[in-house]
Amino acid sequence: MTRATIESLAVLAIVATLLAPAKAQGQTTDTRTPAARTRAEVEALIKEVGSKSPEWWNSVTPRHPETLDLNWPLKPVGKWDANRNMGQFIWDIINPNPNRWKEGVKLVHQLMIRHKNDPAKLTRSMNTLGRMFHDLLEDWARAAFWWRMSARRGGQYNALGLAHCYWKLGNKEMAVEILSQYRGDYTRHGAVIKFWAEMGEFEKAIRLAEQKARSGMADVGYLTAGDACRLAGKYDKALSYYEKAAAARDSNGREGDFKRNIERARASIQAIKCFDALDLSRIPDGTYQAGSTAYAGELYVAVTVRSERIESIRITKHKERQFYSAFTDTPNQILAKQSVKGVDAVTGATMTSEAIINATAKALAGAIK
């Protein structure tokens, strides 16, 4: 029996278990303070949950255009066309529509079976499943399972995303083992810095942010330093870093990113100045609106206050396409805290989360009597 045949049989065995319903313990949900688990417990959870279907599995039927190419070539063919190219269909149709996220996951599962004898396409499907379970459904155990499956077969996977799964599953040590391999933050938007800050490693986050600022990306470095300070409740320091980011100069020709980062820094300065002034007891009952800079443009919210409490936050207008779970997670955090302070941005949608926080702060500050 050839190695390829053995691997194909292994994949089929794994996929076959998807017909079995998941146990209750497998339904992982997002939490800002992960419950602690030992390494053995995390490994057992990933193994138990990852190879079984979610509870919603049988209630979902994937929909896609008949013109969609299910062969999914490794490189897109022709012009951008979400009705033909699978990657573009996922990006344009699945990602921006939360009501289709589960459909997307099930469709990629079907593609994995279809391509079981093509190692490159098989591992791409596994990597895609990892991203979908992580970015869209926040199912950390299944995301870790599929990313590890891809890695074992030599395929691409998101190492930072895998580390984030370990953290969300309750084991910081496993996350740090991966994160510590990054001697600097070479990501476009400071993902390594953000992750250290999320885990409460403030000094490490600031050290890497300062390093990034010195490397010629002052806008990103100082902006992420401000975000780390804000998450840690160090608002004066956050304001100082945001001011440095707003005064930065572009030395790398990143015109689009640079302009957006300057706008984000200015919006964060405005929001931070509102933080200390916020007092729900001084806000009359009513709904208040404001906007702030997100990734694709201005994002607007409507914040309703009743009996000195934030009752609801609605995103009323936006241009975002890849917002993932920011539209639900970020408002829910604010509602739970009854404050815009200490709210963590959603991984992969930091700018969207940030805009919701800043716009909410502006709306509430403008309503104070």
Average pLDDT over residues 341-358: 90
Looking at residue 32, what is its pLDDT?
Answer: 56
> What are the distances in angstroms from CA 180 to CA 143, 151, 184, 205, 208?
21, 19, 9, 12, 12
Looking at residue 239, what is its pLDDT?
Answer: 95
CB proximity list for 8: less than 8 A, separation 6 or greater: 116, 117
One domain, residues 224 and 159: no
**Residues 30-67 pLDDT 10s:** 445 678 999 999 999 999 999 899 999 999 999 999 99
Looking at residue 16, what is its pLDDT?
Answer: 47
Whole-number percent of the chain with pLDDT over 90: 79
Q: Is the pLDDT of residue 272 over 80?
A: yes
Domain boundary among 254, 273, 292: 273
**Residues 277-317 pLDDT 10s:** 889 999 999 999 999 999 999 999 999 999 999 999 999 99
Instruction: Report whether 169 contacts 161 (CB < 8 A).
Output: no
Looking at residue 186, what is its pLDDT?
Answer: 93
Looking at residue 179, what is its pLDDT?
Answer: 96
Average pLDDT over residues 138-162: 96
The pTM of the full predicted model, rounded to 2 decimals, is 0.88
One domain, residues 23 and 136: yes
Q: Whose CA is closest to 246, among 228, 231, 276, 225?
A: 225
* CA end-to-end distance (rounded Å), the chain: 77
One domain, residues 261 and 353: no
CB proximity list for 22: less than 8 A, separation 6 or greater: 49, 52, 53, 54, 55, 57
One domain, residues 232 and 155: no
One domain, residues 44 and 147: yes
**Residues 110-129 pLDDT 10s:** 999 999 999 999 999 999 99
One domain, residues 299 and 266: no
One domain, residues 205 and 255: yes
Average pLDDT over residues 169-183: 97
- For the record, the structure tokens of 275 come out as 């933080």
Domain boundary among 148, 174, 200: 174
Domains identified in the chain, total number: 3
Residue 206: domain span = 182-273
One domain, residues 208 and 318: no
One domain, residues 124 and 235: no
One domain, residues 97 and 160: yes
Domain boundary among 174, 198, 226: 174
Instruction: Grade residue 250 by pLDDT with cuts at 50, 70 and 90.
Output: confident
One domain, residues 149 and 187: no
**Residues 210-223 pLDDT 10s:** 999 999 899 999 99
One domain, residues 125 and 12: yes
